[in-house]
Structure 1
Amino acid sequence: MIVSRKKKLYFLGLLAGIFLISLFLFFWSAPDIGAGFNYAVVVRSSDGDDLAEFYKERRFFVPHQTIPLSVKQAFLAAEDQRFYSHHGFDLRGILRAFRKNIAANAVVEGGSTITQQLAKMIIKNPERTFSRKFREMIIASQLEWKYSKDEILGAYLNLAYFGERVYGIEAAAKTYFNKSVTDLNISETAMLAGLLKAPSSYSPLKNPALARERMKTVLDEMLALHFISYDEYNKALAGPLPEKATFQRKYNAPYFIDFLKLQLSAKYGEDLYQQGFQVLSTIDASMQSLAERVVRDGVRQIELRTKPGVQAALVAIDITTGDIKAMVGGTDYATSQFNRATMALRQPGSAFKPFVYAAAFRKGMSYNDSILDERISIQETDTGRWWSPRNSEEKYFGEVPLKTAFAHSLNSATVRLAQKIGFDSVRDMARQCGITTKLTTHPSIALGSFEVTLFELTASYSVIATGRKMVPRAYTVLKDKNGKVVESPVSSYKEVLSADIVDKMRVLLRATIESGIAGRARAVNRIVYGKTGTTNDYSDAWFVGFDDRLALGVWVGRDDHTSLGIEETGSEAALPIWTEFMKHVKY
């Protein structure tokens, strides 16, 4: 008898335990109030200024602790005055709505609390049915169990739709009043709170009379609840309504932002938007502004000499960190979003020659060693045809030092040097420095006959400048919407060139400026280094070089690969843009 009773008590205790555990799991299984929603990604320049935003939904996360009390009170007055008293759903409101719905034989009023409205956002089902309403109440109960009232109210204000394709209180404040939520006054707050009932109907941009009437209703409730004084009430009533959407999306450094977006999307997928990342980029705002100006002005000058349709690109990379400091992918982003800095494959011409000479130095040669500069013909191994490169203006100088051959960009001497050390050595040197596009060992490799991007060529010159190969870096800190650091990429490098080779290459790249074809660069009031590049028919013009801080590359050409114009060489078309940047850049 006693044993049977103990078994019964044990069984009942077990059932009670299972029930309590199930109840706990039920309530604790409430959905994450922030999951599944998209936020704007905010990108800042290296000095912390806002650079750009991009998004799928215009929503900026604001921690509930930073939302002003007056803002919270306005929404409580408008949407759920008993929010801090109920436990997810308000029986009074439900009964009132039930009576109206029965009388109308349809769902005409929801009687939803703020918690239920948040549940509805999470469900993402706009249907007004009793089954959906019941599910909404279940989720609301779970939310109330798992989260604090302040967390629920904060999530609601961050997720709510305010019309004009605007989501969340911060984006609404920016769109309607061109300010942050922390700067809203009572009148503005009441107007925004009034929007939620019907964002289109009560829009001040579409129906100002209805918007003002709704704003007054909210202010009346705030006064009745003693949230505001009579003086504040009267002042708020006279507050002006917005007449237009004032918030314009920032999208500075647009080609770089597109490049960064592709990089982040490849790494984080949909988390990029759902985490609402805050990105501290490597872009220097003043350098970016200078880069855009010199490209624009330089192209204008070229078109005055030739004809319209000229494009240009510029990339600046910090040679000590690999940070991308400026990027311009074209003359007008609004007209063409194609990024010619990172996506356009063009022949580099003589701008590739540094890899030939660096490979020769690795073989033990010096810039004082001689090479023959005479006509040369090389039989192609695959076709049997003869390939015969020519010097500019068909001038040849016989035996010349490597320094002279490089400074005057002598094609025949450079090809003969590449043949002497092996075309495979040239290919290997280019790859080690960072050229990733397909390279062959055809003799024309010495003259840059294949295609590269300006971005990879500029990054490769940073290797020549320091001997160290680094992966170019677009951002230094990545935080989620809550401010938690997700990633902080650290610069790392690999030694590719010896200090001896770097020193010899600097002698050559300086000789091009001091005594060669890039004399215009002497206008820069410090020591700079670089090399021109020009392709057949003047279809591509390059200048790539560096000082002790930056590697800078400039390309000029036409998208259809037609000629820029007679004598529009690297020295004439690209170098002036490069020089203007280097003259005016501030460190």
Structure 2
Amino acid sequence: MLEIITNNRKKATLKYVRAFLFFSLILLILFMLFITGVVIYAKSKGAPPLAVPQSTLIYASDDSLIGETHYGEKRYWVPLDEISPAVVEATLSIEDRGFYSHHGFDYKRIVGAILADIKARAKVQGASTITQQYARNLFLTHDKTWHRKITEALYTVRLELNYTKEEILEGYLNTIYYGHGAYGIEAAANYYFGKHAKDLTISEAALLAGIPKGPTHYSPKVNEDGAKNRQQLILSAMVENDYLTKPELETISSQELNYTFGSTKERPVIAPYFQDEVKRLLASKLKLDQETINTSGLRVFTTLDPELQSIAEEQITQTIAKDSEIQVGFIAMDQHTGQVKAMVGGRDYTESPFNRVTQAERQPGSTFKPFLYYAALEKGFTPSTLMRSEVTAFTFDDGRERYVPHNFNNYYANDKITLAQAIALSDNVYAVKTHIFLGQDVLVNTAKKLGITSQLASVPSLALGTSTVKVQDMATAYSTIANGGVKQEPLLIEKVLNHKGEVIYESTPVKKQVLKPEEAFVTTHLLTGIFDEKLNNYTRVTGRTVMDQLTRHYAGKTGTTRTDSWMIGYSPQLVSAVWTGYDRDKTIDLTAEKTYAKEIWASFMEKAHEDLPVLPFRAPEGVVAVQVDPDSGLLATKKCSEKARLTYYVKGTEPTESCIGKAEITNEEAPKEADEEEKKGWFKRIWDWF
């Protein structure tokens, strides 16, 4: 009987064992099928995108950081090899010691965490790996639902299947939150210690590695004791993982930390108007929306020269009276490359972000005349071309309209002056006569060819700059003349990198020869006349008030209207344009205010060139230079050499007649000269009237 019972028990036990093994096999098969299904799903979904909101950084031409864009969250992405090894070691020691050995899940830690939680009857220990935390930070919310946990697990598998351990670790360190708006180790290193992630010491790295556990509790700014205690815990873990020795631990533990808490980031805003224009170009040229521009981690390398920008801002501040409401627009460009080196769109960006260089349109006054005189040179004029400077009434529109231009202070030669004198003295009558003689559409077409984008009116007063234009367009036009007639659009952005460091845009400047180089150079030399008192006639040259400040070769032109004051000019190396005036068309009445543009331009150009060689304007082939008497425009001789000036002409147009000193004209010669006047044809007499 006992034997029967024993056999029955053995049979029952064997039955249960077989059932257990059967069901275990079924569960194992189901588990394998589940794992296979998860893997197939993860593979089918492909690599999840790793893009996260990151600050776009804007750099100057010397690669210094001048600006960044973010929505209160500082995020910078740096490659793993630009992160201190101590950061990696400290993070692995405290967050995931088995990171390189598991496949996204640490089952030992999971079991240990479950047992610890059961023992404590509360959630006391976490088991998330770095990959799981990265998945959560990238794609998920931090709620504690089963749906979120399952989705997190799927993302974790996808990350492990599609990315290397180094890529996952790099992404984690660049996205984890370290408190106070700092996302990623680079932002944290900047905020807490004022340095780059690659420069962190072991002590600093250990402290930062402890913050993500609880930024509100382990931030040294909030709780220094708690931060230091967690730092010691991490340093001990680094010893256990053979990253440190015990003697090193003792030394590092005693090191004092110097916190900056973001003070190094509170730098003055550099060239805010320039930065705004860069962002506008990112939208218009690269077709990027504002969200992408601000949060996609772009690296934008620009043409800005921080030193020249600083000089421009300093000269504007020093020149314009603090209590004045006068505004300013300033731009400096390299005429050979089109690169914008400095830009000031107003006196105070915080009060008015309106950019008066690229957005405002103002009357350029006489700074428009060089375009006219270039066109005149193309049509046969020369620096010696004579016309009368006197009060003249012009009729147009079939006689229905009458226009009488006036010179500054109503000063006139009441005699003939040369083109060289006309531009140096800014004679308005000479300009309007030239404009009408050429045909009023000629100036419009020339200005458009040079880069003026504003609408221009074909009227007699256009010669005096009565149609409104942009400061940047005027600088572009002068750059074209300075560059021998080769036009290049203003260049602000050199290249743009995405957050991976890949080039997504690189500038390819297009050069276009729009002017004849010979006439362009003669125009340049004509523009040197505003600083040469040899061209004084019935009044003094317009650059006389700043001449004493200048130490090298410059070409330029002033411009004045009732509401606007301009100075645009260039050396062989640099072009700069200055506009000053009131925003609301208030007239410029004070004498000092009328000189602001010239003073800013002169002081900027001199300081900008301090370390540059003194270069002359070099004439191209096809241009000749001769000594000329400025008053007559004829070849200088001993009899009229007191003011002889070296003047450039397109070859074949230089004067061939010599001047006759006034003292040499006898009474017998005067009637003879009158007889010659009578013998001239009607066309020649009309031309001389002009």
> What is the TM-score when the length of structure 2 is the normalising length?
0.75
Look up the match of 1:500: 518
Look up the match of 1:4: none
CA distance in 1 between partners of 2:144 and 2:393 (Å): 82
Partner AA of 2:590 in structure 1? I
How far the C-alpha of 1:517 sits from its partner, in A, is 1.0
Look up the match of 2:374: 358
CA distance in 2 between partners of 1:244 and 1:20 (Å): 49
Whose Rg is larger? 2
Paired residue for 2:310, among 289, 295, 300? 289
Look up the match of 1:16: none
Mark the CA change 1:45 to 1:98 in structure 2 (over 3 Å): closer, same or farther: same
The residue correspondences of 1:97-496 to structure 2 (distance < 5 A) are 111-240=127-256, 242=259, 244-248=261-265, 251-266=269-284, 267=286, 268-269=288-289, 270-273=291-294, 276-300=297-321, 307-378=323-394, 381=397, 386-398=402-414, 399-465=416-482, 466-496=484-514
How far the C-alpha of 1:429 sits from its partner, in A, is 0.8
Mark the CA change 1:199 to 1:265 in structure 2 (over 3 Å): closer, same or farther: farther
Look up the match of 1:583: 606
How far the C-alpha of 1:215 sits from its partner, in A, is 2.1
Secondary structure at the aligned position of 1:131 is classed as helix
Secondary structure at the aligned position of 1:556 is classed as strand
The reply on whether 1:559 has 2:583 as its aligned counterpart is yes
Gaps in structure 1 of 5+ consecutive residues:
1-18
How far the C-alpha of 1:152 sits from its partner, in A, is 0.7
How far the C-alpha of 1:108 sits from its partner, in A, is 8.0
Partner AA of 1:55 in structure 2? H
How far the C-alpha of 1:468 sits from its partner, in A, is 1.0
How far the C-alpha of 1:47 sits from its partner, in A, is 3.1
Which range moves more in the overlay, 99-108 or 265-274? 99-108
How far the C-alpha of 1:192 sits from its partner, in A, is 0.9
Secondary structure at the aligned position of 1:200 is classed as helix
How far the C-alpha of 1:488 sits from its partner, in A, is 2.7
CA contact (8 A) 2:42 2:157 kept: no
CA distance in 1 between partners of 2:122 and 2:411 (Å): 92
Which range moves more in the overlay, 267-276 or 380-389? 380-389
Look up the match of 1:90: 106
Partner AA of 2:298 in structure 1? F
How far the C-alpha of 1:65 sits from its partner, in A, is 2.7
CA distance in 2 between partners of 1:387 and 1:22 (Å): 86
How far the C-alpha of 1:568 sits from its partner, in A, is 4.4
CA contact (8 A) 2:194 2:260 kept: no
Look up the match of 2:91: 75
The residue correspondences of 1:11-22 to structure 2 (distance < 5 A) are none
Mark the CA change 1:309 to 1:43 in structure 2 (over 3 Å): closer, same or farther: same
Paired residue for 1:525, among 539, 546, 551? 551
Secondary structure at the aligned position of 1:196 is classed as helix
How far the C-alpha of 1:287 sits from its partner, in A, is 1.9
Q: Residues 407-461 of structure 1: CA distance to partner in whole angstroms, max 9, x if unpaired?
A: 1112222122212212211111111100111212133221111222211111110
Which range moves more in the overlay, 228-237 or 546-555? 228-237
How far the C-alpha of 1:381 sits from its partner, in A, is 4.3
Query: What is the aligned-residue identity percentage?
Result: 34
Mark the CA change 1:109 to 1:424 in structure 2 (over 3 Å): closer, same or farther: farther
Secondary structure at the aligned position of 2:232 is classed as helix
CA distance in 2 between partners of 1:328 and 1:163 (Å): 36
Secondary structure at the aligned position of 1:458 is classed as helix
Q: Residues 228-269 of structure 1: CA distance to partner in whole angstroms, max 9, x if unpaired?
A: 222332233334453633331554233222221221233233
Which range moves more in the overlay, 349-358 or 250-259? 250-259
How far the C-alpha of 1:100 sits from its partner, in A, is 7.5
How far the C-alpha of 1:137 sits from its partner, in A, is 0.6
The residue correspondences of 1:44-55 to structure 2 (distance < 5 A) are 44-55=59-70
CA distance in 2 between partners of 1:265 and 1:161 (Å): 30
Which range moves more in the overlay, 272-281 or 200-209? 272-281
Secondary structure at the aligned position of 1:82 is classed as coil
Which range moves more in the overlay, 96-105 or 120-129? 96-105
Mark the CA change 1:472 to 1:541 in structure 2 (over 3 Å): closer, same or farther: same
CA distance in 2 between partners of 1:188 and 1:523 (Å): 53
Look up the match of 2:560: 534
CA distance in 2 between partners of 1:218 and 1:383 (Å): 92
CA contact (8 A) 1:531 1:545 kept: yes
> What is the TM-score when the length of structure 1 is the normalising length?
0.88
Q: Residues 479-498 of structure 1: CA distance to partner in whole angstroms, max 9, x if unpaired?
A: 33343333331332111110
How far the C-alpha of 1:183 sits from its partner, in A, is 1.4
How far the C-alpha of 1:326 sits from its partner, in A, is 1.7
CA distance in 1 between partners of 2:586 and 2:370 (Å): 26
Which range moves more in the overlay, 190-199 or 206-215? 206-215
CA distance in 1 between partners of 2:248 and 2:367 (Å): 69
Mark the CA change 1:209 to 1:380 in structure 2 (over 3 Å): closer, same or farther: farther
Secondary structure at the aligned position of 1:531 is classed as strand
Q: Residues 108-167 of structure 1: CA distance to partner in whole angstroms, max 9, x if unpaired?
A: 865321101111122142322111011001110111111111211111001111111111
The count of residues paired between Structure 1 and Structure 2 equals 561
Gaps in structure 2 of 5+ consecutive residues:
1-34, 534-540, 613-690
Mark the CA change 1:439 to 1:477 in structure 2 (over 3 Å): closer, same or farther: same
CA distance in 1 between partners of 2:399 and 2:273 (Å): 41
Q: Residues 307-364 of structure 1: CA distance to partner in whole angstroms, max 9, x if unpaired?
A: 5223323211111111112222223334433322222222111111111212222222
Q: CA RMSD in A?
A: 2.9
CA distance in 1 between partners of 2:38 and 2:398 (Å): 76
Which range moves more in the overlay, 460-469 or 356-365? 356-365
CA distance in 2 between partners of 1:126 and 1:310 (Å): 54
CA contact (8 A) 2:48 2:158 kept: no
CA distance in 1 between partners of 2:171 and 2:88 (Å): 12
CA contact (8 A) 1:514 1:522 kept: no
Mark the CA change 1:434 to 1:454 in structure 2 (over 3 Å): closer, same or farther: same
CA contact (8 A) 1:295 1:313 kept: no
CA contact (8 A) 2:481 2:521 kept: no
CA distance in 1 between partners of 2:220 and 2:93 (Å): 20
CA distance in 1 between partners of 2:201 and 2:349 (Å): 37
> Stretches of 4+ moved more than 6 A in 1?
19-22, 99-109
Mark the CA change 1:199 to 1:416 in structure 2 (over 3 Å): closer, same or farther: same
CA contact (8 A) 1:533 1:569 kept: no
CA distance in 1 between partners of 2:192 and 2:413 (Å): 71
CA distance in 1 between partners of 2:343 and 2:260 (Å): 37
CA distance in 1 between partners of 2:217 and 2:38 (Å): 44
Secondary structure at the aligned position of 1:457 is classed as helix
CA distance in 1 between partners of 2:441 and 2:393 (Å): 18
CA distance in 1 between partners of 2:129 and 2:402 (Å): 84
CA contact (8 A) 1:107 1:128 kept: no
How far the C-alpha of 1:92 sits from its partner, in A, is 3.5
How far the C-alpha of 1:99 sits from its partner, in A, is 6.6
Partner AA of 1:298 in structure 2? T
How far the C-alpha of 1:50 sits from its partner, in A, is 3.4
